Amino acid sequence: MKKIINDPKTVVAESLRGLALAHADVLRVEDDPAIVVRVDAPLAGKVAVISGGGSGHEPLHGGFVGQGMLAAAVPGAVFTSPTPDAVEAAVKATTGDAGALLIVKNYTGDVLNFETAAELAAAEGLDVRSVVIDDDVAVKDSTYTAGRRGVGGTVLLEKLTGAAAERGDSLDAVEALACKVIGQVRSIGVALTAPTVPHAGEPSFALADDEIEFGIGIHGEPGIEKTPAVSADELVARMIEAVVSDLPFADGDKVLLFTNSMGGTPLVELYLAHGIAERLLAERGIVVERRLVGPYITSLEMQGMSLTLLKLDDELTELWDAPVNTPALRWGV
């Protein structure tokens, strides 16, 4: 295993230290328990949108802390859910009278620990709600979940709810918006290689040079099947079919297309795939009105990609375009 690390036990702490130094204008890192918090927290008169999960998916979630997105992020160890006390600390550090919304990816540990934290915060008089995102179309159940997994749609959900909170929407309104987004977003992922978790020291699964893993999650778990490596045209066509047919998306729909690198796929390949996806959607009469391309929810150094489609309306488009100032997303400010 070759990685730019010192000790597998200190990877997350040292990474957070670097994040705080690199982006001190928008966030700060608090220790014991570790949380990433907006530099202007606690927020007065605005809903605190909070998310988190295992590390190894950077820039998710800490890279999305800042104006117009998350009030706080709670990082666990690599591919490991954060503890309830850390989530509770993030709530206390950011939440005022307007309350907080917890965005939880549908992985068993995340769901249980965030629910426990919400109960602890509520016992102290804070108004805390939670929503669970489950946008993966590949599997209904897995080693890590009951139901579908939360994957690429998480990035879009955090941006849209963060924008609503920034403009002053009530907790009821932000929660309702989150439920709307969850109902309209779908994702699929593929892997060309497996990631290597630092404390494990070996790839999470085996793939031959001429194989790909179709329907992967973001924690190094295998997908729904191994298939022979095919051309980009064939691969993207299968991914688009899986996503479009699930909602289903239809002729005339306006969408946001999110083409995501799982960490090791270079942009030259990612833009190639994005171009194919746009062409295939246009052939179906689906209108791509907004786009996001890049490594925004990763699985360490995994080579692979995911495609996410969100059905847009005027409100969601306005919220997507709203100013955001975070380490990983920044426009309009």
Using alpha carbons, select from 181, 211, 180, 175 the residue that is nearest to residue 193.
211
- CB-facing half-sphere around the CA of 38: CA atoms within 13 A: 29
By DSSP bridging, strand 225-228 and strand 211-214 are: antiparallel
274 an active-site residue?
no
Using alpha carbons, select from 88, 73, 66, 48 the residue that is nearest to residue 170.
48
23 an active-site residue?
no
Using alpha carbons, select from 153, 128, 131, 145 the residue that is nearest to residue 60.
153
SS3 track for 103-124: EEECCHHHHHHHHHHHHHHHHC
In contact, 221 and 204? CB cutoff 8 Å:
yes
Using alpha carbons, select from 141, 113, 9, 97 the residue that is nearest to residue 51.
113
Catalytic residue, from 23, 61, 219, 274: name it: 219
In contact, 175 and 182? CB cutoff 8 Å:
no
DSSP 8: G
Is it true that the peptide bond before 33 is cis, omega within 30 degrees of 0?
Answer: yes
CA angle 41, 178, 311 (to 5 degrees): 130
Q: Report d(CA 132, CA 272) in Å as an integer.
A: 32
By DSSP bridging, strand 100-105 and strand 185-191 are: unpaired
Radius of gyration of the chain measured on its C-alpha atoms: 19
Supply the residues annotated as catalytic: 57, 219
